[in-house]
């Protein structure tokens, strides 16, 4: 089903029957991608005495508890409340759900023992474009990202200047196929998070901090999806928390 979209004075056509899901599902099969030194998520039926919430066990319904951490167990979207002393909710921060996005592929630079996405690489990839959202696909784009245990692996990350440049371009939504935009072990500095959200003091938030900007981590963009412009539908579960599991969907323009 093709539709003509009018968005921020732009008009374009998308095929709504061909969504491109770049989220990673939450699973209990032992192959869920994980990070931050946690175990796999669990999905298991409620038990009350002899009663088990599973139809195969004689119950009338399947009735599961799910234990997970949004930051560690798959695709999630977070607001600046992730790094501030005061509480801010992603359910309040994200109030619009459709954005023009640019998918870019970048091979992080080797810097000592690290792999780093630099400002120069972002600048080259955007080539003057200033979309509402940027989707960063790191190269090589190994499908192991869909089930990788990132703990103690020192994944690639954004340098502070790269995150600041994305902010300066006016990009409000940053999506990336890594567990964090920051270095895994950085002594809690979180310089890329702070640069993107323009947070100068986590204990006393500055007036020009970017409350409506979001970071989505642990996406997966298949190789079959070419770099370029897309319509992004960014949906979250209604969690009153700094972060929520999310389901970003791309539509080719």
Burial class (CB in 10 A: 0-12, 13-18, 19+), 19: middle
CATH number of the domain residue 134 falls in:
3.50.30.50
Of 139, 145, 79, nearest to 115 by C-alpha is: 139
In this structure, is residue 49 part of a structural domain?
Answer: no
Q: Can you give the residue range of the structural domain that contains 186?
A: 2-27+70-252
pLDDT given at position 223: 97
Asked if residue 149 is part of any domain, the answer here is yes
Q: How do residues 184-241 score in pLDDT, each as one tens digit? A: 999 999 999 999 999 999 999 999 999 999 999 999 999 999 999 999 999 999 999 9
Q: Is 50 part of a structural domain of the chain?
A: no
Q: What is the DSSP secondary structure assignment for residue 81, as one 8-state letter?
A: G
Indicate whether 7 belongs to any domain.
yes
Asked if the structure places residue 165 within a domain, the reply is yes
> Could you tell me if residue 175 is inside a domain?
yes
Our count of domains for the chain comes to 1
Cβ partners under 8 Å of residue 122, min gap 6: 104, 106, 134, 162, 165, 166
- 96 pLDDT higher than 90: yes
In a domain, 216, yes or no: yes
Model confidence at 10: pLDDT above 90: no
* pLDDT attached to residue 9: 81
Average pLDDT rounded to a whole number, residues 50-61: 96
Q: According to the model, what pLDDT value does residue 37 have?
A: 98
Longest dimension (CA), the chain: 63
Domain-located, residue 201: yes
- Give yes or no for a contact between 69 and 36, defined as CB atoms under 8 angstroms apart: yes
- pLDDT value, residue 1: 81
Count Cβ neighbours within 10 Å for each residue of 61-82 and write b for 16 or more, e otherwise. eeeeeeebebbbbbbbbbbbbb
Taking the C-alpha atoms of residue 9 and residue 250, their distance in angstroms, rounded to an integer, is 20
Per-residue pLDDT tens over the stretch 140-184: 999 999 999 999 999 999 999 999 999 999 999 999 999 999 999
């Amino acid at each position: 089903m093709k539709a003509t979209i009018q968005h921020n004075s732009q008009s374009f056509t998308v095929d709504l029957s061909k969504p491109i899901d770049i989220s990673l599902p939450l699973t209990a099969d032992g192959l869920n991608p994980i990070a931050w030194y946690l175990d796999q998520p669990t999905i298991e039926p409620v038990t009350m005495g002899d009663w088990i919430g599973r139809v195969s066990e004689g119950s009338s319904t399947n009735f599961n508890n799910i234990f997970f951490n949004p930051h560690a167990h798959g695709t999630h979207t977070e607001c600046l409340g992730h790094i501030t002393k005061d509480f801010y909710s992603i359910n309040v921060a994200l109030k619009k759900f459709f954005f023009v996005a640019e998918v870019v592929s970048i091979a992080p630079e080797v810097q000592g023992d690290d792999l780093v996405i630099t400002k120069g690489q972002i600048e080259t990839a955007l080539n003057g474009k200033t979309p509402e959202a940027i989707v960063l696909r790191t190269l090589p784009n190994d499908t192991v990202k869909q089930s990788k245990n990132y703990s103690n692996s020192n994944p690639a990350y954004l340098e502070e200047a790269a995150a600041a440049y994305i902010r300066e371009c006016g990009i409000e939504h940053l999506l990336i196929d890594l567990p964090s935009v920051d270095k895994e072990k950085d002594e809690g500095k979180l310089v890329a998070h702070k640069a993107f959200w323009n947070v100068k003091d986590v204990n006393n938030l500055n007036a020009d901090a970017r409350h409506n900007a979001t970071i989505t981590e642990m996406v997966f963009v298949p190789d079959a999806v070419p770099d370029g412009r897309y319509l992004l539908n960014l949906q979250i579960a209604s969690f009153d928390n700094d972060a929520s599991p999310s389901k970003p969907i791309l539509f080719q323009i």
